[in-house]
Copies of this chain bind each other. A is one copy, B any other.
Amino acid sequence: MLEVLPVTIIDDAPVIGIDAGGTEIKAGLLSGAKILEKRRYFTERENGPEHAVAQVLLAAKEMCDDYPQAKAIGLVVPGIVDAVSGIAEFSENIGWKNVKFKEILESAIELPVGFGHDVRAGGRAEAIYGSGIGYKNSFYFSIGTGISGAIVIDGVFNENPYSGEIGHLDVNSGISCPCGSSGCLETIATAPSIVRNYNKNSSNKLSNARQVLDLAKTGDPIALQAWSSAVDAIAISLTAYVTILAPEVIIFGGGVSQAGDFLLNPIREHFDKKLTMHKAPTLVMAKFSDEAGMIGAGLLGSDALKISKS
């Protein structure tokens, strides 16, 4: 259990934070939430999961070589992650299985190593430094290539490696999911799903979700349908979350969340209609946008530094 508060658990010594995603690897030299230096590597998952692991290791080594002032390193990855044993159990997105990342980094690098889940780490960064400050019960909801969330209950992070997987909540989309089930939120509301949903019905082929959103804003019916299907499914899944855990705030992160009120307002309307017993939570944007995971990785590095000193 990682306590969100007090903030004083954070050592602001410079650390390296690495957020390895399906497309790119964000690497930063950080002091708390302050980004001193930042670089971008590519995961190149099309070359297979072993290559992706090698790319992560390359990024980690280069950052350590080039920034010798760093006192620790933290790495976060997507999918099912066991932070305690340091293993990336599964990412359907990148394709790796049971990668012992903590062990791999510790044998390659002379610094204390922290390791964890990208969205949970991002949620912790938001809780400590960002939009979650002041809330004891929050949900950090990240929508990008994948969808998952980080749960804070009574000021304590939920570190269960299988929790928060709201992207695999069945919202009746009727579409098969790579996880093996069907109807999952991810099949209709991730950035690639929104694009796929548009392209399926249009001769005009788009390549990213922002283009779909821009078209929807002009009133294009196919784009509106693709966008609304995503937002409705998100609203349904968040209503389920609120019914079960009743958070005070939901913090929206990830690329799709940059739609802002075009995303949040329909969810607020859905809450008004459906949440008859529960108080509707406050909906806010993440402060650190797509850098929350990297800042959270730095926090895990700081934790490892603290443990190494104690």
> Interface of A with B (CB < 8 Å)?
1, 80, 90, 137, 151, 153-154, 156, 158-160, 162-166, 168-170, 172, 177, 179-181, 236, 239-241, 243-246, 273-279
Give chain B residues whose Cβ lies under 8 Å from the Cβ of A239. 170
A160, B277: Cβ atoms under 8 Å? Answer: no
A132 and B240 CA atoms in complex are apart in Å by: 24
Determine how many copies of this chain the complex contains. Answer: 2
B278/A165 in contact, CB under 8 A:
yes
Name 11 extra pairs, CB < 8 A, besides A151-B244, A169-B240, A180-B276. Answer: A90-B277, A154-B160, A160-B246, A162-B278, A164-B244, A166-B243, A169-B243, A172-B172, A177-B276, A180-B277, A181-B273
Q: Across the two chains, which residue of chain B brings its CB closest to A162?
A: B246
- Return chain B residues, CB-CB under 8 Å to A137: 160
29 A-B residue pairs with CB within 8 Å: A80-B277, A137-B160, A151-B245, A153-B153, A153-B160, A154-B158, A156-B156, A158-B245, A160-B246, A162-B246, A162-B277, A162-B279, A163-B245, A164-B244, A165-B243, A165-B244, A166-B243, A168-B276, A168-B277, A169-B243, A170-B236, A170-B240, A179-B276, A181-B273, A181-B276, A240-B240, A244-B244, A244-B245, A245-B245
Residue of B nearest to A277 (CB): B179
Please tell me if the beta carbons of B154 and A244 are within 8 angstroms of each other in the complex. Answer: no
Contacts of A245 in B (CB 8 A): 151, 158, 160, 163, 244-245
Instruction: Give the one of A159, A168, A240, A243 with max B CB within 10 A.
Output: A243
Q: Are A166 and B276 CB-contacts (below 8 A) given A154-B156, A172-B172?
A: no
What residue in chain B is nearest A177 (Cβ atoms)?
B276
| Docked-complex contact B274 and A170, CB < 8 angstroms | yes
Of B1, B153, B274, which contacts A158 at CB under 8 A?
Answer: B153
CB of A169 within 8 A of CB of B246, answer: no
Complex: A124 Cα to B156 Cα, angstroms:
20
The chain B residue with its CB closest to the CB of A160 is: B246
- Residues of chain B within 8 A (CB-CB) of A159 are 154
CA distance A244 to B246 in the complex (A): 13
How far does the alpha carbon of A80 sit from the alpha carbon of B243 in the complex, in Å? 12
Report Cα–Cα, A106/B159, bound state, in Å: 40
Residue among B153, B181, B276, B277 making CB contact with A274, cutoff 8 Å: B181
